[in-house]
A and B are shown apart, each in its own frame.
Chain A
C-alpha cells in the first residue's frame, strides 16, 4: 500500500473537527443546540413568521382580548396561543419578545465580554497598581447579588433598551474580568509571550493578538452562562416593571401582564411566554454545559 493511500484513509483531524466530535458526544447537548438554533431562528425571522405586528396598536382589536388558545375572534381569525388583555396575538408577541430578550442578552454579553476581558487581560499583563484596583472593584462587586446592583441602576436610569443594557453590562463585566485575568496570568509566563516580547512587539499587539486569543476558551464558557443569566435578569427586571417599556413588550413584561389574569384561570398569557423564555435559557445552558466539558483541559481524557 502506498503512503498516499494510507494518508487518505486517516484524514488529519482539524481542531474544529475534534471540537465537534467531542461536543456531539452528549445527546442532550445536541438537543440543546438544535433547540437553540430553532429559537434563535424564530426570533430572527419573527417579522415574517408572526401573524400580526404586536407593536402596531392599529392592528390590535380590543374585542378580541383575552381569547383562549385556538378560540375564534370577532375579526374572524383564530389565535393559536390566545390573546392578551389588549387583543394582542400571543404567538406574535412571544416571537417579537424573543427578539428583544435575545438582543438584550447578546448585546450586553458582547459588550461586557469586550470590556471585562480587556480589563482582566490588562490587569494580568500590567500588574501592579492597575491590577490591584481592577481586582478590588471586581471583588466588591461580585460580593453583591446581580439583581440588587441592576435594580438600583435602573431605579436611577429609568426604563429603556439602552438603559437595561448599561445595567446588565455593569453587572456582568466583573465575571469576564476575573476569568480573563486568571487565564491571562497562566498564559503570560509561557514562552510564546516571551518570544513576542523578545521580537520587540508593542504591548497592545501582544495583549490583543497573542494574549487575548489564547485566554479565549474559558471566556467563551463564562460567556454562554452569562448570556443566559442576562436574559433571565432582563426578564426579571421587566417583570418587576423596571426594565423595558410597555410599548415593546419583552417576555418578562408579557408574563407580568398575564399575572393579573392568572388568578381567574386565564393561564395562557403568562404560561406561553414563560415556556419560550425557558426554552431559550435552557438551550443556552445545555450548550454551555457541554462547552465547559469540551473546552476545559483539566477534564479532557
Chain B
C-alpha cells in the first residue's frame, strides 16, 4: 500500500514537470504581455523597464530555470496583473470553485442514483423511458447555453434568483464560503444546477446500466429466493455492488466539474479559479495560467489516487489482488 502511494507520488512529480515544460514553453511563444500591461501611451523606455521588472528580458531557458528554482521552494512566480504570488491569487479563489463543484456533485448524485435505480429496476415502464430520453437530452444540451437559459428563465423572466455574481460569504475553517447562508446559497443555486446537469445524466445512465447488469446475477436471485424483503435486496445487496463503479465515475466527475467550472463561472461571473484563468489567458498573465494548470493537474492526480484507494476499501477482491502483488 505504502509502496503504491509512493510510486504514484513519484509519477505525480513527473507529470507536473512535463506539464510545466509544455505549458511554459507554449505560453512563452505567444504575445507580449508588456504590450497589454503597460499604459498604451508608454514610450519604449517605460516598456523596457517593465520588461526587466517582470523578468521578461531574459532568455526563455533562464526564465524557466528561475521558475523551477522558485517552484522547488513553493513559489510559482508573481502574477503580472495582480503583482502578488500567483499561487496566493489562485488559493484565494479556490474555495469559490470548490463549493460550486461540491454542490453540483451533491445535486447530481442525490438525483442521479434514485433516477437510475428506478430506470434500471423497471426498464419497460413509461417513467424509465422518459428518464432515459431525458438523460440523452441532458448530455446533448450545451452547458454554456443551459447557463444562459437558466439566467433567462429564473433571473430575467421570473426574477426568483440573482443572475450573476457571488452572494455574501461566511468564514468556515479559514475559507470564505457562500453556501452556509440562504442569502449566499441563492447565488450559488443556478451555477451549481448548470454544472450538475451533465453529470446528472451520466450518473443516471451508469446507475441504470449497473442495476440491469447486476440484477441478473446469481446473488440477487439468491437473495430474493431466500425471501429477503425487496427493500433489503435493493437497498443493501444491489446498492453495495453498483457503488463500486459509481465511486470511480463520481470521483472523475468531480475533477471534470472543477475544469468545466471555467465555463459556468464565466457565464455567472462567479469569482472562482476558472474565471480567473480565462481572464489571465486574455491578459497574458502567464504565471497565473501556469500555476492554475499545475494546481488543477495536482488536484486531478490527488482525486484519482483517492478513487483508487477507495476502490480497494469498497471491493475486497481488489484488496486481495493488491496484497498478492
Question: Could you tell me which A residues sit within 8 Å of B by CB distance?
Answer: 28, 140, 143-145, 147-148, 151-153, 155-156, 158, 228, 232, 235-236, 239-242, 252, 255, 258-259, 262-263, 265, 267, 270-271, 274, 277-278, 281-282, 285-286, 289
Query: Chain A interface secondary structure, helix, strand, loop or mixed?
Result: helix
- Could you write out 13 A-B pairs with CB less than 8 Å apart? A28-B133, A143-B304, A144-B297, A151-B262, A155-B281, A156-B30, A232-B143, A236-B144, A263-B156, A263-B163, A281-B140, A285-B136, A286-B136
**Contact between B293 and A236, CB atoms less than 8 A apart:** no
Q: Enumerate chain A residues within 8 angstroms of B144, measured Cβ to Cβ.
A: 235-236, 239-240, 252, 255
Given contacts A242-B281, A278-B142, contact A255 B137 (CB under 8 A): no
Compute how far the CA of A155 lies from the CA of B289 in the bound complex, rounded to whole angstroms. 10
Shortest distance in angstroms between B253's beta carbon and chain A's nearest beta carbon? 10
Contact bitstring B15-28, A, C-beta under 8 A = 1, else 0: 10000000100110
Q: Enumerate chain B residues within 8 angstroms of A289, measured Cβ to Cβ.
A: 136
Question: Could you tell me which B residues sit within 8 Å of A by CB distance?
Answer: 15, 23, 26-27, 29-30, 133, 136-137, 139-145, 148-149, 151-152, 155-156, 163, 255-256, 259-260, 262-263, 266-267, 278, 281-282, 289, 293, 296-297, 300-301, 304
Question: What residue of chain B has the Cβ atom nearest to residue A285's Cβ?
Answer: B140
* Partner of B151 from A155, A255, A263 at Cβ < 8 Å: A263
* Partner of B263 from A236, A263, A281 at Cβ < 8 Å: A236
Query: Chain B interface secondary structure, helix, strand, loop or mixed?
Result: helix
Q: Enumerate chain B residues within 8 angstroms of A270, measured Cβ to Cβ.
A: 145, 148, 152
Q: Enumerate chain B residues within 8 angstroms of A274, measured Cβ to Cβ.
A: 142, 145, 148-149
**Contact between A152 and B293, CB atoms less than 8 A apart:** yes
Give 7 nearest A-B pairs by CB, closest first.
A145-B259, A274-B145, A156-B26, A282-B140, A145-B256, A281-B140, A155-B281
* Partner of A155 from B30, B136, B260, B297 at Cβ < 8 Å: B30
**Contact between A143 and B300, CB atoms less than 8 A apart:** yes
**Contact between A236 and B140, CB atoms less than 8 A apart:** no
Shortest distance in angstroms between B294's beta carbon and chain A's nearest beta carbon? 12
Question: What residue of chain B has the Cβ atom nearest to residue A156's Cβ?
Answer: B26
Compute how far the CA of A236 lies from the CA of B194 in the bound complex, rounded to whole angstroms. 14
Compute how far the CA of A263 lies from the CA of B170 in the bound complex, rounded to whole angstroms. 28
Compute how far the CA of A259 lies from the CA of B23 in the bound complex, rounded to whole angstroms. 31
**Contact between B145 and A255, CB atoms less than 8 A apart:** yes
Q: Which of B15, B30, B144, B282 has the most CB of A within 10 A?
A: B144
Question: What residue of chain B has the Cβ atom nearest to residue A153's Cβ?
Answer: B26
Shortest distance in angstroms between A229's beta carbon and chain B's nearest beta carbon? 9
